[in-house]
Amino acid sequence: MAPTTAAAAEHRPSPFSREVRRWRALRRMSQLELAALAGTTQRHLSFIESGRSAPGRAMVVRLAESLALSLRERNALLLTAGYAPAYEESPRDGAAIEPAMTALRSILTGHLPYPAVVAGPRGELVLANAAFEVLTEGAAARLLEPPVNVLRLALHPEGMGPRVVNLAAWGRHVTESLRARAAAHPDGGLDALAAELAGYLPAGAPPGPDHLGFAVPLRLRTAGGELRLLTTLTSFATAVDVTLAELHLEAFLPADPETAELLRRRAAARGAAPAG
């Protein structure tokens, strides 16, 4: 016997149900896989996705964790289920995250004489140490007006672009990393930025068999000579504040003794005491 109109409406998928299905498809997970990670049954998850069962707050949180959502995305999922957000979003100059920001400033200072920055989710500059000046050398003033975008600065033809010896390879590393992040955490702003940055790269052949992917050091011309820099990215995996969780620390390390010496000399010229 066919279900009545009222019964069909009662089981119509809710916005939350649709969001769970969308995220599960994005993560390429089966119902069984997600249910196992979230500590529930496939049948229960099927009922949630069809709108036949309304999840409790704890289940929503477990599903969000199992889907590897960011804190901002977890808050959004809770809202679609009718629950209050679980994570605060403090202003960057707020008292709640000031201890963490103070610690980050100390890390940046301790990294001297090598450059290091703290950036937001779309590359916006939040903090930088004194050695950041080696990255801004010769850049157009408009690219250095707040809010500075360190990704745009890195590849723009009026920024670092003309000084990057291996612009095609290193730029591809930057844009592919950005696209990967946008794919995992859909964001129209990231997609637009990735498209913009790709437009700054030279046209050329696709990567060949010797392409090293992520293992691409930055080769940067400076007034004192060429730098070869490795980069490290640090995020705050255990943060419980949306603002802090969305920041990342990018630190540059010398890939050879010549680079280390050149950066020490620049620090001495600035009057800074080199670390180490």
State residue 203's pLDDT score. Answer: 80
- Given pLDDT bands bounded at 50, 70 and 90, which one contains residue 207? low
Sign of CA dihedral 256, 262, 266, 271: positive
Torsion of CA 252, 255, 261, 263, to 10 degrees: -20
Chain mean pLDDT for the chain: 90
Q: Find how far residue 269's CA is from the centre of its chain.
A: 33
- Given pLDDT bands bounded at 50, 70 and 90, which one contains residue 6? very low
Look up the pTM and report it. Answer: 0.85
Q: What is the pLDDT of residues 142-158, one digit of tens each?
A: 999 999 999 999 999 99
State residue 272's pLDDT score. Answer: 54
State residue 3's pLDDT score. Answer: 46
Nearest to 129 by CA among 145, 107, 146: 107
Preceding omega of 274 cis (within 30 degrees of 0): no
